[in-house]
Amino acid sequence: MIRLTQTVQKGGCAAKVAASELRKILNQVRFPPLDKNVLVDGAGFDDASIYKINEDLALVQTLDFFTPIVDTPELFGKIAAANAISDIYAMGGDPKTAMAILAFPMATMDTSIAVEVLQGASDIMKEAGVSFVGGHSIDDDTLKFGLSVTGFVNPKKVWSNAQAQPGDVLILTKPLGTGTLTAGLKRQVFSENEIVQATASMSQLNRIIDLIPESMAEAIHSATDITGFGLLGHGLQMAKASGVSLQFSHSSLPVFTHVWKSLQDGLLTKAHRTNANYVENVSMISDRLDWQKQILFDPQTSGGLLLSVSPKNADELLERLQPRFSFSRIIGKVKTETNFLLEVTE
């Protein structure tokens, strides 16, 4: 049996181009002018684009793909699908259709693996109420899979990463640590059974809109999902886009089982280093051991939503989230912009 993680150098969202390098690349591209109906594009590193159709309807569009992060093909398909669909949820949208991106090594893998990957993704799309409408495949040296997803949102009710307000409370809906745990899986320190808590979370849809009444949805001022750039990397993008600073409590961060031991043992990815470099000049972190700080840079795959919420609604929202997202926690607050856009306290 092929162990998918052994066929690639890096997997999941840890395979992302480093945020600082991506910004350098994009800064050199002469992009075409935007249509006046484009409400959100890629400039603020938001989760998805928003294109206004009329006063009450807009398209939400995203694309995400990566190399295997787990060994089981069906599980890989589930995680990749949940991760891609998450970007629609992070904008407050309702996903409707998806198209697959599949790169498959025909010479080295049996096509039954492709079937299992697609079946896992199909099962997640069924759960999300998303129609699987097609896609594109190529014969490649390594397996890569993901989705381009389209959904709808009311343009007046978009959760972008640019609307966090001073005084807001920060809520995270899933634990941290998928980066170090899957690094351990690739190095055969862990089996999939030993990190099932994390793989189940990565396969879980980030659908929260059905848990809360419309009045409370408006209390969510800003949102983003935590993926390859880690908590502080995606937090920095929210802080910059919103013109605020974010304060996190290290002791309040939810983590998966085995994560602290995994970090202490040095089970890291390249993304841990590049994510730390990305926020180095704009963050102030309280005195912690180096391995304890790594959770702040851990590259998440299909991680949780980071929500910036009105303080008067935060406790009730948390109560509504926890039956489905049992590790949901208040992990910090939004402050007026300071010299350090990110602060991590005890």
Write the CATH number for 313.
3.90.650.10
Contacts of 51 (CB under 8 A, 6+ apart): 35, 37, 38, 39, 58, 59, 61
Residue 225: predicted pLDDT: 96
Domain boundary among 131, 157, 183: 157
Q: Give the pLDDT of residue 142.
A: 96
State whether 190 and 221 are in the same domain: yes
Judgement on whether residues 136 and 31 belong to the same structural domain of the protein: yes
Domain boundary residue, one of 127, 157, 187 = 157
pLDDT of residue 120: 98
Amino acid 316: pLDDT: 96
For residue 129, the model assigns a pLDDT of 98
Give the whole-angstrom CA distance, residue 195 versus residue 218.
Answer: 36
Q: Which residues form the domain of 121?
A: 4-157
The CA-atom distances, in angstroms, between 174 and each of 52, 94, 199, 227 are: 30, 20, 12, 11
Last residue of a domain, one of 107, 137, 157: 157
Blockwise average pLDDT, block size 10, the chain, 346 residues? 88 86 92 95 90 98 96 98 97 97 97 98 98 98 97 96 97 98 96 97 97 90 96 97 97 97 97 96 93 97 98 96 97 94 94
pLDDT for 15: 84
Residue 192: how many other CB atoms lie within 10 Å: 16
Domain count within the chain: 2
User: What's the pLDDT at 16?
Assistant: 87
- The model's pTM: 0.96
**Residue closest to 12 by CA, chosen among 78, 56, 70:** 70
Q: Are residues 209 and 293 in the same domain?
A: yes
* Annotated catalytic residue, options 4, 8, 10, 13: 13
The answer to whether residues 219 and 313 touch, using CB atoms and an 8 Å cutoff, is yes
**pLDDT reported for residue 215:** 82
Query: What pLDDT score does 321 carry?
Result: 97
Do 125 and 87 share a structural domain?
yes
Same domain, 194 and 106: no
Residue 162 lies in a domain: no
My answer on whether 92 and 173 are in the same domain is no
Decide if 128 is catalytic: no
Q: What is the CA radius of gyration of the chain?
A: 19
Q: Do residues 49 and 197 share a domain?
A: no
